[in-house]
Structures are given as structure tokens and as C-alpha cells.
Chain A
């Protein structure tokens, strides 16, 4: 059994203009390994090459060089796509189909026989929260949120081992988003590998265990969410701090702010935080809180896409 759900080696895509011979390197030498059963996030600003990368995994786009494997099989082979469920970002599901009919069609394309489809379709439509009425309603009458839900059902129709989702909660209200997250959490518990491409960093941070950030086609950063967002500093909050002490504390703090009489100070190390606590207690100030702070994935993302492309790996 192959250890990785996805494995790419030097995957590169260069688009060449047919007439002017101009070249655009959309994806530049990306090598990643996604262990099976993990939740993996692909991040990057618009135009970073995320969608091209996903399309190469699915063999919609042919790589200029390098290769991609899905569960050990070359992604160019049709059989390699059998364990994959995919929800594209800007999907255009045929509007003449009903929700049921669409699942019938894509289920058949995924190799399911009609008995399995008949059994699975009502199950899935209910799982994604589409009621009886929607089952036989044409997709042209569906709202954006309903289309996302039926799209997710389509990706799950053949019980895939790898789920590739491109902006799965796009256009979905917060309740629906939570519902989709619950469905995905359930799949993760069942051991399904989930590859998520999303702009919603908070969603990726909540859901994914590992992430890769790509920028201008290159891999800029990769690692576990826990390691990327861990240990950025210590926050101390205190009341009634005399001005002279506040000046002294500010000079050693990485950042500070004062909100309605409470002084918030952020220190880079544990030693500095302890020093600040000692100074505050010696001056009989009241401590409101002391906590270790974490970076958000957004902080990491912004630092990465603003900074130079380094190819850093954090584990």
C-alpha cells in the first residue's frame, strides 16, 4: 500500500502563447508529499498557480515537466483518478440536470453500477443537507450554496479515498459552512485524505493539519499548521501600571497597546515575560492575564507572500 495519497516531483507547467511565443511559468518545480489520511491545505494569493497545480493532479492540465502520483499511480492514467473526488472552483454543472440526475451521471462516470448509485444518492443528498424537494429540482433553479452542496455530494458519490476541494464553501452561508466542515471532519475520521484549496485561511487553519503556501508558482512555505503557528510570543495584561514602569516595559516589549486602562504587552521570549511579571508585581500592579500567543495562519500567510520566496520548510 502506498504511503502517500499525493506525491509530486518537480511539477512544472509553462504556458506558451500560441502566437507571441511568450512564456508564463504557472507552476515551478513543486515537489510535495501528502500522507494518506491527512487534511492538507494549499494556499497562495490569486494567480499563484494553485488551480493549475490541482488540475495537473487530476490530469486536466498536462505538466511541462515533472510528475504527479496519486496513491502511487501516475496521475495521467485514468485509473489513478478512480479514488479521487473533485469539486472544482468555478464549476458549471449542466443546468438541465436535477440534483439526482447529476449524481447519477457523475456516479456512472466514476464507475458505479446503477444499484449502488440508487442506494448512495439519497444518502448523500441528505448528508449535504439538500431536502427531498431539491432532489428533483433542476440545477438551474439551485442557489449558489445549494450548488456547492450538490457539488460536494458529486465529489463523494463513489466514496473516494482522496477528496480534492477547490473553495468548497464559496457562496455558502456560515451555517452551511459549518455543515460542510462537519461533513469533512466525518470523512477525515474515516481516513479520507482531504486536499483543500481555499482562500479562507481561518477555515484552513481550523481544518487542515498540513499546508503548503505557493507564490508565483513556487513553493514558498510548507509544514504542519501547528508548527507554523506555534510560539510567536507571550502576552501580558496588567492594570494600574505607573507611567515610569510602562515606559520601561514598553522598551523591552515587541508590541504594546493600552485599552481602557489595561496595558497589553507582547514579549518575544519567556524570560522577558517573566521579567515583566516580576517588575509588575514589585510595583503592586494587578495582573489581568498571562498567555502564550500563537500566530494565526493569516499572519504566516501574509509574512510569506509579502516576503521573498525562500522555500522554507517548517516541521
Chain B
């Protein structure tokens, strides 16, 4: 990438941030994350004496005494799970508009008239969007990690890894949003499809059970194809929780197959964008 292309790509990323600020997307997201951090900070009172819990109370109710590290990891695992799905839903809502805005008539022509390749235009917008969401996810995860660490003295790195997984899955879903934006110029359809993926993948994750329930071989084949092709959002969540709880990860297949799905979808989006007339 030469200097001019780098400048142009950096300008597109900065513009995505500026638009996210102007549309209050960034601040809305930031506000939700701050509210969640304040919630964590004030509802949870933990007194640690010599590495064990003297008292633990949430909403003023005492909890049974337990090992500090265990409790923190369990809580972090729950928060990571909530963040993973709820944060992702928020991020999808926020990003769909940011992507489709670029394809608006009167705006896209001016962008395409500049000496920047369509690939760089689309990837710049994609990267800007990922960074907007990443900034908030990192703020939330690192913020809650610090709160837990200060209150309990437990500083496990597993919880921090959950932010990377969340950003990774968001990037895959954003690739879907980009593809639909290029094909249909519709943020509403993009939201519907990504939500459908978020709903269908926990069902597909029960592949073994479903295979037993299905009577015909062709329907089992359809199930297998869907399972292997579509992103494994639910299973990646399981991997995140294992990492937090320091449990071994049985298979990384859900991660790499999801990454392939995201890369292929994004590549199709770029290819279609290059061929499209505006």
C-alpha cells in the first residue's frame, strides 16, 4: 500500500468514526457500556480476606462462601456470554446503517470518482466499522476486568480474550452486512439476516441431537451442510467461556470455519461491489 492509498484508507476509517459520532451510534454504545460497568461496580460488594471470600453480596443479599477465583471466573463467564450476544446485537444494529449509508445515491458516485480502488473503499469502511465497535467492546471488557481485579485481586487473562472473540464474530457478521448492503442497499434486510444467523446457529450447534431426530438422509445432509457452512457463533461463545474458566478447548474448528465463512462472504461482497454500476 503506497502513501496515497494509506492516506485515503485512513481518511475513510476516520470518516466512519466521525459518522458514528454524529449519528450518536458511538456515544449510544459507549453509554450502554458505561451503564453496564457502573452496574458491575455498584451492585457487587466483595470483601476478600487472605485470598478467600469473607463476604459476598449482590443486591445486598449474601452469597454462599466460595473460592474467590472461582466466583470471579464464573461471573466473568456469564458477563462474557451476555456481552457476546447482547453486545453483538447492539453492534449489528449500529453498524448496518453505517454500511448502507455509503451506498446512498449522490454519495457513492463522489466516492467512486476518487482515485481509490473500490476494494480499498469497502475495506476502509469495513475496518472503520470494526474499530468503532472494537473501541466500545474493549472499553467494556477491560473496564469490567479492572473492576473485578481491583475488587478481588484476581487478574485472569481469559476474560480479556473474550473481547477478541467478540470482535472476531462481529467482523464476520459485518461481512454479511456488507454483502447485503452491496447487493440490496438495505440495512433492514442486513439486520434481519444477521439476526437470523444469530438465532439459527445455536440450533445448528445441537447437530448430533438434531441428526437423531431427523428421519431422512437428505434432511440430515442439509443440516450438515448448514452446520459446516454457516458461522458457529454459539460454539465460539462456548470456547470463550472455556478460556475464561481455564478449561481446555476441545476443537478450534468453530473458529477457523467461521473465519473462512467471513472471509468468503467479504470477498464476494468486494467482488460484487467492483462489478456493480451506480
Contact = CB atoms under 8 A, between A and B. Distances in A.
A108 B8 contact: yes
A278 interface: no
Interface in B3-26: 3-4, 7-8, 10-12, 14-15, 18-19, 21-23
B60 interface: no
Given A92-B104, A96-B18, A78 B115 contact: yes
Contacts of A78: 115-117
12 contacts: A59-B113, A60-B278, A62-B277, A80-B115, A81-B113, A82-B115, A91-B107, A92-B106, A96-B18, A105-B15, A108-B7, A110-B114
Interface residues on A, range: 20 to 34
Contacts of A13: 277
B108 interface: yes
Contact of B277 (A60, A92, A164): A60
Contacts of B116: 78, 109
B105 interface: yes
B10 A108 contact: yes
A220 interface: no
Interface of B: 3-4, 7-8, 10-12, 14-15, 18-19, 21-23, 104-117, 275, 277-278
- Most B CB atoms within 10 A — which of A61, A82, A94, A101? A94
Contacts of A55: 109, 277-278
Interface in A54-109: 55, 58-62, 78-82, 84, 86, 88, 90-94, 96-97, 101, 104-106, 108-109
Contact of B278 (A61, A93, A111): A61
A96 B106 contact: no
Nearest to A104: B11
Contacts of B109: 55, 58, 60, 86, 88, 91
A87 B19 CA distance: 22
A91 B110 CA distance: 8
Given A61-B278, A109-B8, A96 B115 contact: no
A67 B109 CA distance: 19
A109 B114 contact: yes
A86 B110 contact: yes
Given A78-B117, A105-B11, A109-B11, A60 B18 contact: no
Give the 3 A-B CB pairs with smallest separation, nearest first: A96-B22, A92-B106, A108-B11
Nearest to A52: B277
Nearest to B119: A78
Nearest to A154: B110
Contacts of B112: 58-60
Contacts of A108: 7-8, 10-11
A113 interface: yes
Given A113-B3, A164-B113, 12 more contacts: A58-B113, A59-B112, A79-B115, A90-B105, A96-B21, A104-B11, A105-B15, A108-B11, A109-B8, A109-B114, A109-B116, A111-B7
Nearest to B8: A109
Contacts of A109: 8, 11-12, 111, 114-116
Nearest to B23: A96
Contacts of B107: 91-94
A60 B7 contact: no
Contacts of B22: 96
Nearest to B102: A94
Contacts of A154: 110
Interface in A91-149: 91-94, 96-97, 101, 104-106, 108-113
Nearest to A110: B114
Given A90-B105, A96-B23, A111-B4, A60 B115 contact: no
- Most B CB atoms within 10 A — which of A61, A81, A110, A112? A110
